[in-house]
């Protein structure tokens, strides 16, 4: 599917393009709309350390082209070699973080499935201590997340809070979506009260409303946190957040290895699968 010429027709809603040039053009367009960005060079679970080094180099190339854009990069540690060598993975991230820091940017470290959570937080903590230019991701569906957030807050490491996109069974995760949403709000308030420049990453209108209400009630200034959303999802909400004077960063994926990312977006909303089927039939 990734190499099919037809794929562009149905991936373009969620993927900025195949090349860095296309992704940067999107970031520039978004900057004109006062929207910040974080670039995701698609790829995960690489099959060798050589491939991991290529991923690192692709991200370095992206950072070198950001010149003045309000952009960070978002990486997955399985793309940087975590499945093969934690030491090699850490070294790859180190090289990226050193460069990001030198240009005033940041490396956001996505959270993958729960088999990687502990090791990912170890790398985040190490990189944060060495460079202070990273952001961790915490998933509200995991039962362990409250304790993880407390530890990250103690270390003043910024957190992106999301609901979680992988298929996690109990007892690791809440089984009921309502429990995930409730936990999200609890963790969000902890981040507002005790966190360092948190990122509230969701398209859930009820949660966004609660975030705005809580921030106003606690007199938390808009520059103390940011909202984050995914490229191609709820542009109406994106506009509203910016118009209200809050910071919004869009997660902008690009590249050819789009299949796992795209499937997670389909799984989040049945209507997306209908849209995909219609396109396939039409083509
Ligand atoms: P929810 O799924 O309840 O959706 C709320 C509303 O948003 C829906 O009613 C719909 O209108 C819209 N919506 C949501 N998803 C949609 C879709 N795919 N297509 C169309 N409409 C959709 N996860 C993870 O495990 N690790 C990570 O590192 C990250 N990183 C990350 C960064 C950023 C910036 C965001 C916004 C999200 C992530 N995620 C993530 C994904 C996250 O865990 C979650 O799967 C999605 O954001 C969907 O959850 P919502 O919070 O939007 O709520």
Mean local confidence (pLDDT), 45-63: 96
77 CA to middle of ligand 1, Å? Answer: 20
pLDDT digits (tens, 9 = 90+) for 142-197: 999 999 999 999 999 999 999 999 999 889 999 999 999 999 999 999 999 999 99
280 band by pLDDT with thresholds 50, 70 and 90: low
Any idea where the domains of the chain sit in the sequence?
Answer: 5-282
Q: Is 183 a pocket residue for ligand 1 (Cβ < 6 Å)?
A: no
- Using 50, 70 and 90 to split pLDDT, how confident is the model at 1? low
Pocket of ligand 1 contains residue 44 by CB under 6 Å = no
Q: Which two tokens stand for residue 238?
A: 């994106």
- Return the number of other C-beta atoms located less than 10 Å from residue 42's C-beta: 23
- What per-residue string of b and e applies to 201-235 under the rule 16 or more CB within 10 Å gives b? bbbbeebbebbbeebeeeeeeeeebbbbbbbbbbe
Which residue has better confidence, 8 or 76?
76
Tokens of 7: 């794929």
pLDDT, residue 166, reads: 94
**For residue 163, which atom of ligand 1 is closest to its CA?**
43
If you measure from the C-alpha of residue 203 to the centroid of ligand 1, how many angstroms do you get, rounded to a whole number? 6
Evaluate: CB of 166 within 6 angstroms of ligand 1: yes
Q: Which atom belonging to ligand 1 lies closest to the Cα atom of 202?
A: 51
Question: Is it the case that residue 217 has pLDDT exceeding 60?
Answer: yes
Tell me the per-residue pLDDT of 5-51, one tens digit each, with 9 for 90 and over: 666 767 888 999 999 999 999 999 999 999 999 999 999 899 999 99
Give the chain as a DSSP string: -TT-TTHHHHHTTT---SSHHHHHHHHHHHHHTT-EEEEEE---S-SSHHHHHHHHHHHHHHHHT-TT-SEEEEE-GGGTTTTT-HHHHHHHHHHHHHHHHHTT--EEE----GGGHHHHHHHHHHHHHHHS-EEEEEETTBTTHHHHHHHHHHTT--EEEE---S---TTTB-SSHHHHHHHHHHHHHHHHHH-SS-EEE---HHHHHHHHHHHHHTT--GGG-EEEEETTS-HHHHHHHHHTT--EEEEEEESS--HHHHHHHHHH-HHHHHHHHHHHHH-
| Prediction pTM value | 0.96
Q: Which residues are catalytic?
A: 110, 160
**Tens-digit pLDDT profile for residues 109-150:** 999 999 999 999 999 999 999 999 999 999 999 999 999 999
Is 162's C-beta closer than 6 angstroms to any atom of ligand 1?
yes
Query: What pLDDT is stored for residue 28 in this prediction?
Result: 97
Q: What top-level class would CATH report for the domain 5-282? A: alpha beta
Q: What is the pLDDT of residue 144?
A: 98
More confident residue, 22 or 278: 22
Mean pLDDT, rounded, for 195-223? 98
pLDDT at 101: 97
Which residue would you say has higher pLDDT here, 48 or 279?
Answer: 48
Q: What average pLDDT is seen over the chain? A: 94
Residue 164 CB less than 6 A away from ligand 1: yes
């Amino acid at each position: 599917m990734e190499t099919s010429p037809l794929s562009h027709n149905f991936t373009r809603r969620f993927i900025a393009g195949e090349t860095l040039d296309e992704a940067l053009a999107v970031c520039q367009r978004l900057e004109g709309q006062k929207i910040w960005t974080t670039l995701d060079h698609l790829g995960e679970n690489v099959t060798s350390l050589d491939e991991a080094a290529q991923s690192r180099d692709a991200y370095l190339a992206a950072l070198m082209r950001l010149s003045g854009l309000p952009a960070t990069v978002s990486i997955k540690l399985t793309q940087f070699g975590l499945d093969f060598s934690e030491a090699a993975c850490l070294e790859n991230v180190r090289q990226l973080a050193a460069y990001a820091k030198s240009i005033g940017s940041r490396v956001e470290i996505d959270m993958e499935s729960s088999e990687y959570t502990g090791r990912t937080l170890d790398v985040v903590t190490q990189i944060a201590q060495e460079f202070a230019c990273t952001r961790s991701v915490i998933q509200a569906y995991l039962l362990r997340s409250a304790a993880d957030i407390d530890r990250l807050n103690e270390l003043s490491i910024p957190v992106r809070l999301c609901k979680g996109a992988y298929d996690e069974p109990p007892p690791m995760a809440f089984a009921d979506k309502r429990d995930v949403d409730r936990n999200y709000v609890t963790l969000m308030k902890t981040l507002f009260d005790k966190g360092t420049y948190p990122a509230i990453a969701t398209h859930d209108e009820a949660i966004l409303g609660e975030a705005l209400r809580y921030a106003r009630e606690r007199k938390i200034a808009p520059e103390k946190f940011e909202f984050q959303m995914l490229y191609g999802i709820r542009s109406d909400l994106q506009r509203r957040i910016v118009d209200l004077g809050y910071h919004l960063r869009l997660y902008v994926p690009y590249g050819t290895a789009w299949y796992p990312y795209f499937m997670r977006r389909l799984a989040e909303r049945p209507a997306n699968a209908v849209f995909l089927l219609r396109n396939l039939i039409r083509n």
